């Protein structure tokens, strides 16, 4: 399950606005690569939607089935909001619906048979 925590408003090139919901997954334990210690974190993702601003506001706090998963992407630069430090990332977090999760967990990779 994920919980809708907030929404963000963006402007398209043509000047029109659209909204995306900020969704948050459950708490998870992760082991630090630097210190080898375990810490707790929560994954967040943004999901585009067709809702107006009022609907987005009303949805805050509701839950929906699915999960947030780490997806590998081409490297890109990211500025850490608190420090302004520029780092290079090669992943993003993406919302997967319950159906997407089921398909992904049960998919068998195709094998080449000669």
* Residue 113 resides in a domain: no
Write down the pLDDT at residue 34: 86
Give residue 14's pLDDT.
95
Give residue 112's pLDDT: 67
Which segments within 1-114 are labelled E, that is strand?
2-11, 17-31, 38-49, 63-64, 67-79, 86-96
Is there a domain that residue 27 lies in? yes
In a domain, 41, yes or no: yes
Q: How many separate domains does the chain show?
A: 1
What does residue 7 show for φ and ψ, rounded to 5 degrees?
Answer: -145, 155
Which residues form the domain of 79?
2-106
pLDDT in tens, the chain (114 residues): 999 999 999 999 999 999 999 999 999 998 888 899 999 999 999 999 999 999 999 999 999 999 999 989 999 999 988 898 999 999 999 999 887 777 777 777 776 666
Spatial distance between the Cα atoms of 31 and 43, rounded to a whole number of angstroms: 15
Task: Answer whether 19's CB lies under 8 Å from 51's CB.
Answer: yes
Q: Say how many C-beta atoms besides its own lie within 10 A of residue 18's C-beta.
A: 13
Q: Is residue 87 part of a domain?
A: yes
Q: How far apart are CA 98 and CA 22, in angstroms?
A: 17
Q: What is the number of other CB atoms lying within 10 angstroms of the CB of residue 25?
A: 19
């Amino acid at each position: 399950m994920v919980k809708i925590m907030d929404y963000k408003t963006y402007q398209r090139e043509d000047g029109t606005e659209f909204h995306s919901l900020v969704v948050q997954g459950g708490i998870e334990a992760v082991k630090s690569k630097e210190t080898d210690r375990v810490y707790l974190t929560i994954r967040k993702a943004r999901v585009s939607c067709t809702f107006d601003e009022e609907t987005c506001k009303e949805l805050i706090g509701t839950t929906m089935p699915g999960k947030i998963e780490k997806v590998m992407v081409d490297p890109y630069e990211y500025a850490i909001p608190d420090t302004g430090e520029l780092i290079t990332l090669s992943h993003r977090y993406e919302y997967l619906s319950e159906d997407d999760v089921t398909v992904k967990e049960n998919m068998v990779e195709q094998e080449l048979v000669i």
